[in-house]
Structure 1
Amino acid sequence: MRYKQFKFKNFKGIKALTLDLNEGATTLIGLNESGKTTILEAIFSFSYGAEAVEALNPGMETIRNPESWIPVSERANFNDVITVSATIALDEHDQSGVWTHAWKNYDLKLDDLPSEFDIKAEYVIKNSRQSNMRGLTDLRFTGTQGKQRKSRTFTSDTPEWQGIMNYMISALPRIWYFPDFLFEFPERFVLAGAKSRFNTPFDTSEKDESSSVDARMADRNRIYRTTFENIVERLGYGATLDTHVVERLKSRNRADHRSLDALLLDMSRLVTETVFDGWNRILGRAPAAQEVQINADFDSDGAACLELKIKGPDGYYDLSERSLGFRWFFMFLLMTSFQKESKSGTKPLILLDEPASNLHSSAQAELLKSFAKLTETADLIYTTHSHHLIDVRWLDSAYVIKNSALDSLDFGDYLSTRMGARTSITATRYRKFVAESPDHTSYIQPVLDLLNYHPSILEPTPNVILVEGKSDFFAMRYMAEVINVPTDLRMVPGGGAGSLDALIRLHIGWGKSFLVLLDGDAEGKKQRERYEREFGPLILNRCVMLPDICRNEKVLELEDLFEPHDKSAIVSEVFPQADTSRRITKKSLQQAIVELYARRQPVAINSSTIKQFCIMFEALRKRLNDA
């Protein structure tokens, strides 16, 4: 399963907002106070999937309190419904799991299951107090049970429907929200197993709001236990915490304790390598700490525990005794490096708010690389206003977050926004935002900085052909503008087949239509492969080879489109003394075309040459329309 879409209504500064998600990374780009954090909090407030990470960070305790979601400007007397909903996509593996669960537990053979379904939570607020919570879903189950031959519908008041929904909700991707990573890592945590608590959309019984110390402690232990279970699994030799740590710790057999020590040593080495190698890679220097040591012991109540110490040059420390910077990186790498898909094959969804915004540029760039690694085992949504934390490959899935109250630069309006008045948060796909609001560059300044481009009156225009160099550029312009071969294409030159990266980033960033036209020689083929590898799906079907577009395998270079007679005529017009009876050199032809173009001077061109340029221009135009 994966989250395909979230919808929110009346959530803080959000009147109504829809966020469509792709697999991998989704970047939320926006100004300060634009509402990026509000969107992350809204996603985390989807309680059916949210992991109880507030147990790690007490400062998050109020985030999922519905009364804290009331728009600030309406807190005096809010009477409306706050809605948080999600669309969940199911693949064949997910559907198979549901069918198997229904068959084994209810002797129920389900009919076809949908490929996606919605779960909506409605929080009814009266007089600024929550009066009710309604869980709604569009899922309906039909099937045959036992020896029945005719399918019937199972409604929400049947145990079969409730049981299947419980199973599906328990399999939802867990949502991990990290506003920061400066929460405390305990000196030790209990290894006693604890199941994840989740809500069901049909359960209306009274519940403890899980704000008690015992509940938070249980959640904290469960989260850390899950992390260290993943660490043990990453070792790759089939060990588990229960069998290979807890049972060995309880054993009186000396051999079991030696085996336990060996396992703890391997765990310590793995965490040391993961955390400190990541530190070195991101910050470019070794930390003062040297290694991580993991031990197992019993607490005062006789419960099996794990404890973690940091070894420095002069002894062992608790994590809380290290610097804020060290603690941030340690917890970031610990909590993200050991994420994994669940047994049902679902990836967790990780939310990061302005990660490492106080780091220097090279460290942020390295952190961005670690995000690419993270998306192999988790889906990621993160906010940023730093161009060092934007990956051009993820622009298709990026959003520009805008707060309409910030459209005015008046200081009084800014203060009103800070106080929550007239706030209206929107999220627009990056490509759509650029196309519809090209003048609102302040909202996308991080992307412009990434592209190393400062906008002017000469903005990129649609229908652009990026060509290898100036010789191709002037040849095409000469034929189009001086010889009048019809085309509305714009040509932009590079500095060689391998020099088009910056131009590609520029046109991707502005969401403009473009093609890359490469020669059919070995270098052209090599660079096409590199561009497709570098830019991935963003340049799919946009790199075209000259022989393919001209439908002539003999046309390897643009100069091959000119008939020999035309080459002689062009060179003779500029260099009358040249011996055109011999082979015309490429350099002389290029120089002649440039000068004729500058003069706007036509020469008599053979109709077959004009036809070949017509074919090329028309093929490029059609390819642009399809790209």
Structure 2
Amino acid sequence: MALADDVTVLVGKNESGKTAFLEALYKALPLGAAGYDYVADYPRKDLVRYRPQHEAKNYQKVVQLTFRIEKELADTINKEVFGGAQIVAAGSTFIRDTTIANTNTIGFHIDQKAALVAQQKPLSDLEHQDEVFAGATSLADVLAKIEGLNLPTDNRLAKFAAQWRARAIKANGWGLVDGHIWQTYLLPALPKFLYFDDYKLLEGKINLPALQQREAAKQLTDADETAQGLLQLAGTTLQELMSDEGYETAKAKLEAIGLNITQKVFEFWKQNQDLDVEFDLKTDSKDVAPYNSGVNLYIRIKNRRHGVTVPFDQRSKGFIWFFSFLVWFDAVQSRAATQDALVLLLDEPGLNLHALAQADFLAYIRELSTQHQIIYTTHSPFMVDSACLDEVRVVEDRVKEGTKITGDLAGSSDESVFPLQAALGYSIAQNLFIAKKNVLIEGPADLILLQHMGALLEASDKQGVGDAILVPVGGLDKLATFVALLGSNKLKLVVLHDRAASPNQKLEDLVRQKLIERKRVLDFSMFIDPAPAEADIEDLLPTDAYIEAFNQAYGKELNGVTLTAADLGAQPRMIERINHWLKAKNITLLKDGGFNHYRVAQAVLPALTAATLKPDELARFERLFSKIGEVL
């Protein structure tokens, strides 16, 4: 599986193998003492068959990692080992295999011939240099020849040989040069994996003597490590908190810790900025064990808006997770004594966060990715950046194949790629509303007719659509939902809908609830004089032009039958009159009756020009667009 350079997102159904993949990576190169246990980790159905192989020390390979050598490191190696000769190319790779017995092998090799040429160059003025390098295939051959000359210890060739002998590593299989490069340059630069899941969540109170005992016995839990991280982030220690000091000193220290933590956490937590983190130290003999013995550290969250404090573990699960992650990562990064060589493995990050908080956390991940590679799993569309779908990998448990991870989205199942579809759909929905002014209309026929008539008027320096965006929502029944959702985004909205015999109850409710002003709800009947009881956009058009467009659009299906103005009934709406005619003629154009309004709207556009439209017909649309501009 090829990882993205910065962030890799794993999506897939439950039980597809996402968590197992992260755990396998983590145990291959952990920051800490984690490792594989072949009894627990080997596929259970094959364990009995594998056991003899394992006991014979023919261990199964679990993970193969491929690492790329970046230019800065390659330049350092070439300068310090080869005098500036380009032996190790920037972008070259090597592999590290790890077995289920936690043994590993390295696949790294250099061009021995080129390396010898580079190493001979600074020795070219010395006696015997041609002799010792002649016919050599490795540096070991050269050193053997030098040592066979029995040169004085202060001789440059002798010093050269002694220097490289001292660099030799004990591990089997390594040559002198590639072993030295591995030990001195590549191994220290290998990134370590950090794994975070819900087991590392911070607790609301911590019994300090019990934590101290587990620390001394090296039996720390995942939550204990996060607690240690909290103390480190606060700039204090367990011993300092447990020391016997006066009340004022202890209180000042706790307040300083609270202020420090509050500042760091709420730099990223944007959902509620009216919170403070507070700490307290006290004993409570009436509490349950172990909290009834010794000093406890209590973590409380104060809500400045309501003037109350609550225990940390009674806050929302989302806040607890976010807080714990920031504390854990800050502390682990500090203990790792590095800012760069870390790969973060996050299992379902932000699972309990609100969608907007997930977006905040996604932005935090982006910030972290400038220094660290990050791999995380998710089911949430709000944790998938639709602008970076190339970072997504789909995880599937395939029959007879097991877990497969691929970047081929097209070949993945619908269930697996659902979060991607949802993320893309959300992005599309957001990008539809690219202006502050939006006109919600019912369908695509309304869209193309209004766009056409708006452009026609604007060409004559009259009021058209202007800077508003026409948004088709898919029918009158969906208009109310769109108004409710979009109104909360502080967008300026106008609803332009078909006029039915009775008002739409959902729209009336929105007006009554003051989610949209009455003046922003318009219908097409308002722009016809005299105003009819019912009207669609088609009723603003010339009747003859629309009938001709209908006959043209459905010429094949009508099979010689032609609609005329005289055939239309007395219904107030053009659409309904045509539907009644079709029913009377027993003509079926659509399975559910009626006809495709968009198809006819396309056909009528060529007939709607400044030359063919009467002044009163143009005036209807001019009044419509003027009204929209007025209320927006």
TM-score (norm 1): 0.46
Question: Which protein is bigger by CA-based radius of gyration?
Answer: 2
The structure, 1 or 2, with the larger RCO (C-alpha pairs under 8 Å, 6+ apart) is: 1
TM-score (norm 2): 0.46
Judging by fraction of residues, say which structure has more strand: 1
Judging by fraction of residues, say which structure has more helix: 2
